[in-house]
Amino acid sequence: MRTYSLFAIFLLCLVIVGVDALTFYWLQSITQFIDSTIVKMVVYILFWTFTIGLVTAILTLKIRMDSVPVTRRQSLISSLYGLTISSFIPKIIFVIVVSILYFSNYIFSDTDSLIIVPVVGLIAGFLPFFVIVYAVSKAVYKFKVYRVTVPHKELPKAFDNLKIVHISDLHLGSFGYRYKVLERAVKIINELDADLILFTGDIVNNFSWELNGWDEVLGKLSAKKGKYAILGNHDYGDYSIWDSPEAKSENFNSIKDFFGKIDFQLLLNEGIALSKNDQSIAIIGIENWGLPPFRQDGDLIKALNEVEAIPFKILLSHDPSHWDEEVLKYTDIALTLSGHTHGMQAGIKIMGKQWSPIKYKYKRWAGLYHLKNQYLYVTRGLGWLGFPGRLGMRPEITLITLKSREK
């Protein structure tokens, strides 16, 4: 996970306190209707106890980060992240709604009408709170199967109706060794009876020890024609300070070796051919390639070297930015599979249209994209990172069916 300076964390805490001060100001317009002074005091004490406790915990964790065991940091950071989001968003909505209603005199011009304003604001604040609680407690592991059909004139007849399960961004460190949770996803995947399982990176958050015990779970994944994987930006160990280059290298090699334990072939800037009835398709996998500041170890030219002549190619590339920068218009790769964005783990879908704030950072961020004879599919990811929940962006298992069509 990305690290922030103490100054940035301090500014975050100031924002939290500032929003809470505004919330408290408007909260008093509600508590004025409570007759009991004791009840009012209890409400006020609880309100500020939570605020002070949260800010203290955030600052303490940042200051003492180096003394916290590395195996506990992820869970502590994610817990505070969840508490901050579940507190901050409802409060800011409450403040905005109440402020707008109070100062819109042309809507509320008499005292009797103004009495309902804080109540409306309170309701507006509680609704997102309950949504966030659901996102953290239920939706984060409510796996969803997305079914996609990709027709292509270059797909050989021998591979018509080929079924591919695409998964990505497991971030196993975030599961906290809750093996049974992911076993449910494995069961769903196996029931899809796929020909291929393709994994597009970020199996961990940063460390190889996150993989402990997961070989028994992920080793149960089955596919009739093979299982292939690539690395994502989090698999290189870049989000930590290492005692030595050798320690980082050892961590990286352990992560790469893990794929062999679960019977996945890890593709590192290389392509392989799958053949049937004297016809072939290619599976190409590159190392992470992203726009700065993300690393660019991916070497597409090298990966294409052995399979250039095969008309139908499937590329595994973790970051969807790669499609626009090096794949689209520059190659004849038919289908690219990516992850990385998580759909920001938050979004909405109305009348078939989806939206997420991540769209302002990534042009292609979730779902199927198609330009002429080239396709890109970006999965919303199976795990989570940072915010321990999913708002309208459920963890994804993708079933892609390839269809051969006439040229």
How confident is the model over 319-354, as pLDDT tens digits? 999 999 999 989 999 999 999 999 999 999 888 889
pLDDT given for residue 111 in this prediction: 54
Q: In terms of domains, do 92 and 163 share one?
A: no
Q: In terms of domains, do 213 and 263 share one?
A: yes
| Residue 201 scores a pLDDT above 80 | yes
Q: In terms of domains, do 318 and 378 share one?
A: yes
DSSP string, 264-315: -EEPSSEEEEEEETTEEEEEEE---B-STTS-B---HHHHHTTTTT-SSEEE
* pTM metric for this prediction: 0.90
pLDDT given for residue 71 in this prediction: 74
In the chain, the percentage of residues whose pLDDT exceeds 90 is 74
Q: Give a yes or no: residue 115 inside a domain.
A: yes
pLDDT given for residue 72 in this prediction: 78
Query: Which region among 48-52, 127-131, 375-379 has the lowest average model confidence (pLDDT)?
Result: 127-131
Tokens of 98: 């109440």
Residue 3 per-residue DSSP state: -
Radius of gyration from C-alpha coordinates of the chain = 25
| Residue 1 scores a pLDDT above 60 | no
Q: In terms of domains, do 325 and 380 share one?
A: yes
Q: In terms of domains, do 113 and 205 share one?
A: no
Q: Give a yes or no: residue 84 inside a domain.
A: yes
- Domain count across the chain: 2
Q: Give a yes or no: residue 1 inside a domain.
A: no
Q: Give a yes or no: residue 383 inside a domain.
A: yes
pLDDT given for residue 183 in this prediction: 98
* Cβ pair 326, 290 in contact under 8 A: no
| Residue 42 scores a pLDDT above 60 | yes
Give the model confidence (pLDDT) of 227-279 as tens digits. Answer: 999 999 999 999 988 999 999 999 999 999 999 999 999 999 999 999 999 99
User: How high is the mean pLDDT of the chain?
Assistant: 92
Task: Please indicate whether residue 260 or residue 64 has the higher confidence score (pLDDT).
Answer: 260
Q: Tell me the C-alpha distance between 404 and 158, whole Å.
A: 9
pLDDT given for residue 114 in this prediction: 56
Under the banding of pLDDT at 50, 70 and 90, the label for residue 156 is very high
pLDDT given for residue 329 in this prediction: 85
Give the model confidence (pLDDT) of 80-136 as tens digits. Answer: 888 899 999 999 998 888 888 777 754 555 555 556 767 777 788 788 889 999 999
Mean pLDDT value of segment 3-22:
90
Q: In terms of domains, do 107 and 185 share one?
A: no
Which residues share a beta bridge with 350?
353
In the chain, the percentage of residues whose pLDDT exceeds 70 is 96
**Domain stop point among 137, 167, 196:** 137
pLDDT given for residue 350 in this prediction: 86
pLDDT given for residue 381 in this prediction: 98
pLDDT given for residue 259 in this prediction: 98
**Domain stop point among 92, 108, 137:** 137
Number of Cβ atoms within 10 Å of the Cβ of 406: 5
pLDDT given for residue 193 in this prediction: 97
Question: Structural domain of residue 60, as residue ranges?
Answer: 6-137
The long-range contacts involving 29-35, CB below 8 angstroms and separated by at least 24 positions, are 29/98, 29/117, 29/118, 30/118, 30/119, 30/122
| Residue 171 scores a pLDDT above 90 | yes
Q: Give a yes or no: residue 14 inside a domain.
A: yes
Q: In terms of domains, do 154 and 241 share one?
A: yes
Give the model confidence (pLDDT) of 279-322 as tens digits. Answer: 999 999 999 999 999 999 999 999 999 999 999 999 999 999 99
Q: In terms of domains, do 187 and 245 share one?
A: yes
Where are the strands (E) in 190-288, listed by range? Answer: 196-200, 226-230, 265-266, 270-276, 279-285
Q: Give a yes or no: residue 133 inside a domain.
A: yes
Where are the strands (E) in 29-168, listed by range? Answer: 144-152, 163-167
Under the banding of pLDDT at 50, 70 and 90, the label for residue 406 is confident
CATH of the domain at 336: 3.60.21
Q: In terms of domains, do 127 and 22 share one?
A: yes
**Domain stop point among 88, 113, 137:** 137
